[in-house]
């Protein structure tokens, strides 16, 4: 599993210009089963994506398609972790 921490590098008016394309990117990877949850940080300085993938290289490839990455809107901090304890409901998400 991966936690992808996006931090905006541009002001919110620039973020808004690319938001619809970013949402389409998210939708693509929700449909493929890679993304589990995502949303804005509070305060609105970026966002978080919870993802699953075979390895870090796959996550980096996916992120390379994000319009926020392509247009240098956000920087990305990727944290890989191995869930060792989780709820029964969440177990279904990981399968």
Q: How far apart are CA 36 and CA 12, in angstroms?
A: 25
Residue-wise pLDDT tens digits, 65-76: 999 999 999 999
What structural domains and CATH numbers belong to the chain? 2-92 (3.30.70.1060)
- Decide if 59 contacts 2 (C-beta within 8 A): yes
Residue 95 pLDDT level (bands cut at 50, 70, 90): low
The reported pTM is 0.93
Q: How far apart are CA 18 and CA 73, in angstroms?
A: 8
Question: What average pLDDT does this structure show over 51-76?
Answer: 97
- Decide if 48 contacts 3 (C-beta within 8 A): yes
Tokens of 65: 């398609």
């Amino acid at each position: 599993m991966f936690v992808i921490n996006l931090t905006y590098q541009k002001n919110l008016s620039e973020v808004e210009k690319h938001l619809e394309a970013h949402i389409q990117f998210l939708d693509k990877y929700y449909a493929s089963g890679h993304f589990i949850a995502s949303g804005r940080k509070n305060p609105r300085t970026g966002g978080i994506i919870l993802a699953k993938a075979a390895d870090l290289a796959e996550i980096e490839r996916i992120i390379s398609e994000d319009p926020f990455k392509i247009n240098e809107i956000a920087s990305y901090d990727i944290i890989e972790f191995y869930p060792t304890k989780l709820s029964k409901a969440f177990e279904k998400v990981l399968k």
